[in-house]
Amino acid sequence: MDELYTTSFTYPGPRRSRHIPSSSSSLDFAANQNSSDIPFPSHKSFSNSHLAEDVSGPEATEQIAKLAMLAMTLHGCHVSYFLADGGRGWNFTVTGAYQQVMITRGMILKECPIQHRAAIKVTRSEILDSPSSKPALKPEVRRRLDDIASQTLAHIAVVNSPLSLSNRTPPDGISSSAGWSGLETERICELVITGAVDSVDMARVRLLVMLDELSGLHSEMCEIDKKLHTIIAGRKRSSLQSIQEETATNVYLPSPLQGHLGPELSVSPGDSLGKTSSVIWITGEFFGVQRARDMLYNVAATKAKSIISRDTAILPRKLDWMVTDRTEDLKSIMNDNATFIQFPPLGSSTSLISVFGDNRVNIQRTIRSIMQLACQFYVGSFWLLPVQFSALLPPPTLNPSQVTTLIKQISLTTGAEVVFKSMCFELHGFEHEVRAAVGMIMELDIIKAFHHEIRFQIELANEHREFISGKKNGKINKIMQTTNVKIKFETFNDHNFLIDVSGPDGVVLQGLTLLQEELPAEISFHVPEAYHKRIIGVGGRSIQRIMKKYGVYVKFSNAEEFAALGGYNDNDDNVIARTPAKNALNLDNLKQSVMELVNPKDKDFVNETISIPRRYHRTLLGEKAIFIHDIETKTNSKVRFPDKETASDVVTIFGPESQVQIAAAMLLDHVPFEADMAVPRSSDLPRVCNSPEFGSLVERVKRELQVSITPNVNIPTMNGAAGSESLGDYSFKFRCQRSNTDFLVTAREMLEQFLHNHNIRVYPSPTSHTHKRGDSFADAFPHFDSKLLSTAKTHHESADFGRPVHDPDRRLRMASSSPDVKALFNAPAYIYNLEEQDDGQGAYLGNSSQDYWTPMPPIGSGIPSSVSARQTEDALKRGSDSLLEAKLREQISKPRTLNNRAQSLDLTYSLSRITESSGLPPPDSPTNSANDTGGNSSPISATAPSFPSVYGGRPAVIGTSAQRGSRTIEFDNEDAASDEVTRVMHNLGL
């Protein structure tokens, strides 16, 4: 008889999140019901609660019992189970012959009824026929949800969402829950999918296709070998994004790990699992879909000819852990490298994985990434040895039932998987889990009757072998001498090696700690290759000085090395810094030191995320692609849209830290913004909306404000309050570009005025100020929404002098509309001091409810309006205008205040002494020379806003306290003052 093998594990582990279907107050669609069986609770309101993290329901318990019974019947093992992790997981203990136990374990991991969750945000009007106080699903939507739920074995619920479509703050006067008053963003609900991993992934794609079809798009599916999906998509899905861009379509790929977790699924009755995981869905305009399908087939045919594969070995338990616990990491690795990883079935003793790709570099990088992931998972063993060996006496053993209870308790407490076989405890899990489990075993009374040896096994990349051992194995020898442990290196495969740390009792834990302090910690980042030589210095002196200062090793990869490597932690990273874990805090310091030598526009490449509603992604990628490429060129950034099948709203912009905010603002300018205004039901409203006067109002608003107004007066709308007694309100939909949201309130007021004139009642406006229809078109504008721009702004000559000054649309959008976006962050050599406003004659006009910023005409342009003091000061500093002195005299001769001017540091000091009788020469300028661009300062520290703050109070003041003290300069004698200014300019070299 085979020796008993017992394993105890918690699934899902404490490191994962679990969910089950929500309460019955939501609109539920169970997988095992027909549409005729579903009791539709149309009288109930939507559930606001998210799905609970609990697996202890009676239905789940019953499924677990069936699974355990089936496993015992099929494989002849004993399976016991009970709730773990506070009711959020199950602990399973399996005893039997080794092979049977491993098969049973795999079956439990694959088919354990743990509920996973995904949510799709959708506007209520898309799926509800009366989105007011009594929601009811459209019959067509209800039928489609039934079909999807039954085919994918997923549970679908419609729940109310507390989230708005965007996480951005809506403009003034617009609310996400305005109810009856004013403008509100469209309300949304969520389609929440729960079930096994595969069921959820498949149902989400089907629901997204359904929503596209409901919005009028054509859909088709095509079947391509699943190994080719990620390869066709390209690195970071760039090729797939270009196909979607060219054809204006949505392409939904199935999960590359489909078939590993959950019951087998089919697209329709009779279809096999193989087909399910090979189906790609495409939605869009009819001809676009045909083109996209043909392009996918063509690329697949081409790639299939150049496919290569590479096998590599990983410990089987590590493979199981990756598939169950690190699904997203594996998908990310495949997407980043345009490769496909084929895993063996869960629980099998197979240790080989196959990596498919069309490029050796991508395959190698994939294997390196997988191996790096494997290094997080530790293996420990605790051997029980007899106190003294005698050939005549049988060796002491432990009672199997006693052992089973012990390993259950250890597994529950620590989260590690605990195995007992041949008088040895085996422990699998993260380092802290394995360490805690060893500590618990050492405390057991029955263990104290034995000698024991403890062994930890750590996996590490081959490239770190020299790093960890030190010169002549110095680091390892020191640890072994200090702690009396044995450390042995073993070759494992072509990429990784194993470190065995073994010893008696607790000293092994101390040895493990010392070894972990020597393990490599690393950080990788991107530095344009043009800077490499400058940073490294002659003979490497500069970089060696930095490395010695922080005790960190740095490697710069040139273009050839980078191409052969495929990037470090990120595809674009070409610099890696490595140091022992005990010195990890210095990695960031080293990165900062290196980045100080890089121009702000090229350094600190980061990922900036912005939320753009999913329904606009197809249009942005298609029709607006030319604008996106323009933004990418101007800001040295890349715009990456989320994978379609994830239903995510988050768009990522990768670029220099100083530019990504600008890129985000420019991208949002192309995103439509929609808001609704509810009005009470009125029998006259349909007639008024069909009148020529209403048509001319809509045309006028469209022409003057670039805001379109669409009446919705035929069906009840979603904007009625929850407790409304009416059948539903009428509404008007306002639509504009996000850059024009400032005009929405004005457009609403114009519509309200029109309805008042036709004796149609409207709900009271939420805004406090009264209507100001009259003369000033601009007086109604709200403040400039500076959240759209980075906080680091500066005044630059290209920011004002290259722009028309009388275009009303430009007045509030100057910074992000600049033809030279990079110029916004090229800091000038001077720092401005924005003084506190004392009267209303400066550039900042009006009271707090109508303040706006008016750009002034350039000096010498001939436009007969007073030139702002800030621009005068800039002209002084540049010294580029040939008529400078004459214009300066002309400006000084006009009676005006000099408040609110942005003053140069050196001129502030010099001009403040003009009225003094002293003839001393002015002091040296405290700022940099005119040739210095200030590039060695960070963008934030070297710049100031080029307009006063519009958020109340005094504007931001940048400068010293001496400069803050300066106020209005008065001249008693204008001619003398002019001469004195000329002399000061001459002395300053201007």
Write out pLDDT tens, residues 498-556: 999 998 777 898 999 999 999 999 999 888 889 999 999 998 999 999 999 999 999 99
Question: b/e map of 680-719 (b: 16 or more CB within 10 Å)?
Answer: eebeebeebbeeeebeebbeebeeebebbbebbbeebbbb
When pLDDT is averaged across residues 839-844 and rounded to a whole number, the result is: 36
Determine the Cα–Cα distance for residues 589 and 255; give it in Å rounded to an integer: 39
Per-residue model confidence (pLDDT) at position 486: 92
When pLDDT is averaged across residues 764-768 and rounded to a whole number, the result is: 55
pLDDT above 70: residue 180:
no
548 and 496 within one domain: no
Per-residue model confidence (pLDDT) at position 423: 85
Determine the Cα–Cα distance for residues 175 and 781; give it in Å rounded to an integer: 17
Per-residue model confidence (pLDDT) at position 227: 92
Residue 295 lies in a domain: no
Per-residue model confidence (pLDDT) at position 976: 61
543 and 491 within one domain: no
What average pLDDT does the structure give for the chain? 74
List the single range of 83-97, 154-168, 873-887 with lowest mean pLDDT.
873-887
Residue 254 lies in a domain: no
831 and 918 within one domain: yes
Residue 809 lies in a domain: yes
User: What confidence category does residue 176 fall into, taking pLDDT thresholds of 50, 70 and 90?
Assistant: low
How many domains does the chain fold into?
Answer: 7
764 and 634 within one domain: no
Which tokens belong to 156? 């679908």
CATH number at residue 346: 3.30.1370.10
Q: How many CA atoms lie within 13 A of 494 on its CB side?
A: 9
Determine the Cα–Cα distance for residues 723 and 729; give it in Å rounded to an integer: 12
CB 500 within 8 A of CB 456: yes
Higher-confidence residue of 917 and 756: namely: 756
User: What confidence category does residue 18 fall into, taking pLDDT thresholds of 50, 70 and 90?
Assistant: very low
When pLDDT is averaged across residues 853-870 and rounded to a whole number, the result is: 44
pTM of the predicted model, to two decimals? 0.70
Higher-confidence residue of 490 and 180: namely: 490
Residue 700 lies in a domain: yes
Greatest distance between any 2 Cα atoms in the chain: 121
Determine the Cα–Cα distance for residues 209 and 193; give it in Å rounded to an integer: 15
123 and 54 within one domain: yes
pLDDT above 60: residue 166:
no
Residue 506 lies in a domain: yes
Cα distances from 829 to residues 821, 887, 936, 944, in angstroms, run 18, 23, 11, 12
Cβ neighbours of residue 920 under 8 Å, at least 6 residues apart? none
Work out whether strand 174-175 and strand 183-184 pair parallel, antiparallel, or are unpaired: parallel
Residue 129 lies in a domain: yes
Per-residue model confidence (pLDDT) at position 577: 94
pLDDT above 80: residue 296:
yes
List the single range of 366-375, 429-438, 673-682 with lowest mean pLDDT.
673-682
87 and 25 within one domain: yes
Q: In Å, how far from its chain's centre is CA 786?
A: 22
Of 617, 643, 668, at which residue does a domain stop? 668
Which tokens belong to 938? 């960070």
847 and 971 within one domain: yes
Higher-confidence residue of 159 and 897: namely: 159
Of 617, 648, 668, at which residue does a domain stop? 668
Higher-confidence residue of 625 and 779: namely: 625
When pLDDT is averaged across residues 564-577 and rounded to a whole number, the result is: 88
When pLDDT is averaged across residues 559-578 and rounded to a whole number, the result is: 88
Work out whether strand 650-656 and strand 174-175 pair parallel, antiparallel, or are unpaired: unpaired
Determine the Cα–Cα distance for residues 956 and 352; give it in Å rounded to an integer: 62
Per-residue model confidence (pLDDT) at position 809: 40
Residue 241 lies in a domain: no
836 and 703 within one domain: no
Of 628, 653, 668, at which residue does a domain stop? 668
Q: How many CA atoms lie within 13 A of 537 on its CB side?
A: 10
621 and 594 within one domain: no
Per-residue model confidence (pLDDT) at position 498: 92
CB 219 within 8 A of CB 212: yes
Burial class (CB in 10 A: 0-12, 13-18, 19+), 559: exposed
List the single range of 613-627, 769-783, 964-978 with lowest mean pLDDT.
769-783
Which one-letter amino acid corresponds to residue 847? N
CATH number at residue 400: 3.30.310.210
Q: Please state, for a pLDDT cut of 90, what percent of the chain lies above it.
A: 34
* Residue closest to 733 by CA, chosen among 766, 711, 755: 711
Higher-confidence residue of 19 and 425: namely: 425
List the single range of 513-527, 604-618, 752-766 with lowest mean pLDDT.
752-766
Q: Is 499 helix (H, G, I), strand (E, B) or coil?
A: strand
User: What confidence category does residue 401 fall into, taking pLDDT thresholds of 50, 70 and 90?
Assistant: confident
CATH number at residue 680: 3.30.70
Question: b/e map of 895-923 (b: 16 or more CB within 10 Å)?
Answer: eebbbbbbbbbbbbbbbbebeeeeeeeee
User: What confidence category does residue 738 fall into, taking pLDDT thresholds of 50, 70 and 90?
Assistant: confident
User: What confidence category does residue 196 fall into, taking pLDDT thresholds of 50, 70 and 90?
Assistant: confident
pLDDT above 60: residue 571:
yes
pLDDT above 70: residue 95:
yes
Higher-confidence residue of 348 and 168: namely: 348
Residue 899 lies in a domain: yes
When pLDDT is averaged across residues 833-844 and rounded to a whole number, the result is: 36
Determine the Cα–Cα distance for residues 896 and 971; give it in Å rounded to an integer: 11
935 and 808 within one domain: yes
pLDDT above 90: residue 333:
yes
588 and 560 within one domain: yes
Tell me: the pLDDT tens digits for 700-721? 999 998 899 988 765 443 443 3
Which tokens belong to 849? 């409810």
Determine the Cα–Cα distance for residues 437 and 532; give it in Å rounded to an integer: 47
- Please list the helix, strand and coil fractions of the chain in percent, rounded to the nearest 5, in that order: 40, 20, 40
User: Tokens 């800077």 sit at which residue?
Assistant: 531
478 and 423 within one domain: yes
Higher-confidence residue of 69 and 606: namely: 69
pLDDT above 70: residue 41:
no
List the single range of 65-69, 170-174, 792-796 with lowest mean pLDDT.
792-796
List the single range of 46-60, 675-689, 931-945 with lowest mean pLDDT.
931-945
Cβ neighbours of residue 233 under 8 Å, at least 6 residues apart? 239, 240, 253, 335, 338
When pLDDT is averaged across residues 930-954 and rounded to a whole number, the result is: 41
Per-residue model confidence (pLDDT) at position 266: 52
Per-residue model confidence (pLDDT) at position 882: 46
CB 232 within 8 A of CB 304: no
Determine the Cα–Cα distance for residues 436 and 417; give it in Å rounded to an integer: 12
**Domain range for residue 622?**
605-668
Alpha-carbon dihedral of residues 384, 388, 393, 396, nearest 10 degrees?
Answer: -20
Print the SS3 string covering 392-421.
CCCCCCCCHHHHHHHHHHHHHHHCCEEEEE
Tell me: the pLDDT tens digits for 800-830? 333 333 443 433 333 333 344 444 444 443 3
